[in-house]
Chain A
Amino acid sequence: MFLRWFALLSAAVVWAQAATRPHYGGTLRVEVEASIETADPPQAGPGMADLSGAFSVTRWEGGRVAIYSANEDAPGGRPYLDSVEIQMGRPLREQAIDLELKKADVADLGPNEARRAVASRKIWASAPVRLLALVFSERILDARLREALALAVDRSAIHNVLLQRQGEIAGALLPQWISGHAFLFPTAADAARARGLTAALPPPSRALTLSFEAPALRPIAERIALNARDAGLAVSVSQRNAGADIRLVEERIADAQPWRALTSLAVALGLPQPVRADSPEDLYSAERALLESFRVIPLFHLPDVYGVNPRVKGGPGITPLGRWRFSDLWLETVRP
């Protein structure tokens, strides 16, 4: 009886050691919504560019598939994985299904998929590193119009429902975790004040066009249009409209250093470059100066969220800034 119990205990210890010990080999199957339709693989991160060094690209079909193979001479040593296969342009819903059916090891998760996966699935999430904002065209000269829209947007409803409380409501360009003063920028909607501003505007100027890039942003754009209607603005929504009055854009924060992050965001959003700020007060003043014209209306700071197959070990495979770190990952069971 004792021997039997000992044998069983020994087997359990061996199984536990096998489960936590890194394995070499295997292909990590990654699915992403983005579709990079370039002739060559991307050279700057985050994402596939982060694989450079530990992996080298062996197959590239822009917009469809990329295969990276382990680099035997990687600076930190050969990665555990033999290769990483990336399927591009996969809709979020299909990614969720593939993840559920274990056809994918890592997949993008949208807010709805992330909500459903919380209880049952492994999640990798970055810090809120993507700024979702409205950017006005240069031809929208009347600041009252821009301020009216800023006051009209009900960020809270969008955050609660469309984003399923993913990320943070933003009134600032930099997220709270980087600047520490984001909470000082107002985010509450004030439809009455917005209506007061638009009432003074001539009716033709109240008609605006709003454009967005990714299909996943359509519900947010349409909600903003609905909020704008409550403020007396007629906003029509369309995808990829280069001549739109307003663009709903997503900009990634690539640096955790506040001033550099603010500078890069300002450049990306078409704002003036902020003055050098070494103190928190200067940084706050610089950011406030960028936003006081309402040329850019920050809405949310969103994290990168991935659903991960439980067989993927060694994670998380992303940094707080959302960069891929797949060199330390391994797969629990190597497929033939």
Chain B
Amino acid sequence: MTFRTRLLWIVTVAVVASVGLVEWLVARTTRDAFERAETQRVNALVAQSQREFARRGEAVVRAVQAVAASEAALNIALASDYAPYYSEASALASANGLDLLELVAGDGSIISSAEWPARFGYKEDWLANTGDWKARGAFLRREELGDGYTLAMAAVGEARAGDRVVYVAGGQRLDRDFLSTLVLPEGMRVLLYRNFAAPFSPPELIGPTGPEAQPALLMPLIEEVRRNPREVDQTVGSGTSAEIFHARPLLGSANELLGVLLVGSSRRDLVQMETSLRNIGVVLGAGGILIGIALSWWATARVTRPVRVLAESAQKVAAGNWDTTVEVGPEDEIGQLARAFNRMTQELVAQRERLVQAERVAAWRELARRLAHELKNPLFPLQITVENMQRARAQAPEQFDEVFREGTGTLLAELANLKQIIGRFSDFSKMPAPQKQTLDMNELVTGTIKFFEPQFASAHIAAKTDLAPHLPPISADPEQMTRVLRNLVLNAIDAMPQGGVLLVKTAARNGGIHMEIADSGQGLTPEECDRLFTPYYTTKTHGTGLGLAIVQSVISDHQGRIWVESQPGKGTAFRIDLG
């Protein structure tokens, strides 16, 4: 990952994190505000429902007291026989707006029942056993009907005629009609669970329009209130259908749980607001991120451009273009770095020129030394031969002819030697361009090894080959390649004066070939390895020092690569890659 990419990532992450944090803070703050408003709304409705309960209770008390104070109730109280009045309750209930009404004799026997007419004569002992009903006011009661139970806001009045009393027990049902009278703001609703049976009974959960469609959602909340009758708030459902419910237990006169009033407030607005905020946040965030990326791109480009230029310049220098310079920017760290780089390249160029000059001088000296050495060797026999011939002429003329004949032979041989030395130097100076053709390197290796078999035998060298069976043919000059192989084999023979093993290996590699010529000689030091391909450098007592230079020149002309690997005492291996 480049420095620029890394910088871009850092800036982008920072922008995304910042936008996300702001979005989260806004969403949370707004959500808290809505939650508070929601709680206030629910509390207001709960208070309203409580007021409505109280109002209903007062209305029931008034209606019951009106019945108790009516002439009809008085007549019943005065009657010696209640039978004629068994249907009175229905009319009285209807006239006084009561859903439920029972007229009960002083002994607790039902005289007339509006809600269950057939119950006349049955006992309502709870009426006769309780004390002052006037002070009692309204209370919640579970009333049994012919077809089940109902929950009612009830009150009891007394119609007295002397010592005779008739109880008037009336009430209004708490049912969907009651719920429909509660005025609710938009998004709120009220439900009533009538706790008539031990297990949760879905049909008993009703709303203003009838049984609740999804009672199972509210079952946990209701069960919690049933276990522990207290007010509980709970969120029910999810997404836009989520509602927060306030559950209020409805207790009877003996503190028994008769029902649960549930005030629900839809969270749709909150969820929609959250969704809107999220969407806006996503849009703003995306915009911010894009702008941030663009800005960071621009900023990183500005910051990293000098660094990139420096890196490119360094790569040019590494490639050999040492006179590369970079543009010096402002007086900052990058500018200082650019100046340092320019100084470094200038210094490198100067050092290279000095090195080149030194090497050139060294090469000339080496050449002079080598030439002097090469030429001195034949010159000394020439001088000796001529002096012998002069001495023979002067001291033993009878032997002069023989000495002359031998001397001229020697002179010609040494002159030929001189000519050969000069030819070698001439060959190196004018290396011809390779004449490439398709070449099987394995075949060339085999031929070269065979060519040197006599020398191997006399030098006690075991020549081995390890040739790849399906070596691809290469495009190369056979003559120059033959020269390369022979030079390397000759070097190996020279490196093993006491005999040894020569191993030549070929292998296919990267679409080309790889070749290795290794000997088991005494090896080379690292310094020798470094200078091995330098012209006129040799570790031998004979030779011109041009062999490996020529080899490297040929390989280079074939776009190949040659290098040497060696350690003292462990032999030397020349490795060649050819395309």
Contacts and interface: CB of A to CB of B under 8 A. Distances in A.
A161 B121 contact: yes
Contacts of A161: 83, 86, 120-121
Q: How large is the interface on B (under 10, 10 to 19, 20 to 34, 35 or more residues)?
A: 10 to 19
A222 B119 CA distance: 9
16 contacts: A112-B87, A154-B121, A157-B121, A160-B83, A161-B83, A161-B86, A161-B120, A164-B83, A219-B118, A222-B118, A222-B146, A225-B146, A226-B116, A226-B119, A226-B122, A226-B146
A274 B343 CA distance: 142
How many residues of A sit at the interface, in one of the four size bands? Answer: 10 to 19
A288 interface: no
B84 interface: yes
B117 interface: yes
Q: Which of A112, A161, A162, A225: most chain B CB closer than 10 A?
A: A161
Contact of A115 (B84, B120, B121): B84
Interface in B93-141: 116-122
Contacts of A225: 118, 146
Nearest to B81: A160
Contacts of B86: 161-162
Given A222-B146, A226-B146, A157 B87 contact: no
Contacts of A154: 121
Interface string A149-177: 00000100100111011000000000000
Contacts of A23: none
Given A161-B83, A161-B86, A223-B120, 16 more contacts: A112-B84, A115-B84, A157-B120, A161-B121, A162-B86, A164-B84, A165-B83, A219-B117, A219-B118, A222-B118, A222-B146, A223-B118, A225-B146, A226-B118, A226-B119, A226-B122
Contacts of B146: 222, 225-226
**Shortest beta-carbon contacts, A-B, top 7:** A222-B118, A223-B118, A161-B86, A226-B118, A161-B83, A157-B121, A160-B83
Contacts of B117: 219, 222
Nearest to A224: B118
Contacts of A112: 84, 87
A164 B120 CA distance: 13
A175 to B, nearest CB: 22
Contacts of B83: 160-161, 164-165
A311 B119 CA distance: 40
A112 B117 CA distance: 14
A91 to B, nearest CB: 15
A222 B118 CA distance: 6
Interface in A108-152: 112, 115
Contacts of A226: 116, 118-119, 122, 146
Nearest to A237: B146
A162 B121 CA distance: 11
A223 B117 CA distance: 8
A289 B431 CA distance: 149
Nearest to A222: B118
A161 B118 CA distance: 10
Contacts of A162: 86
Contacts of B122: 226
Contacts of A160: 83
B156 to A, nearest CB: 23
A165 B117 CA distance: 18
A169 to B, nearest CB: 14
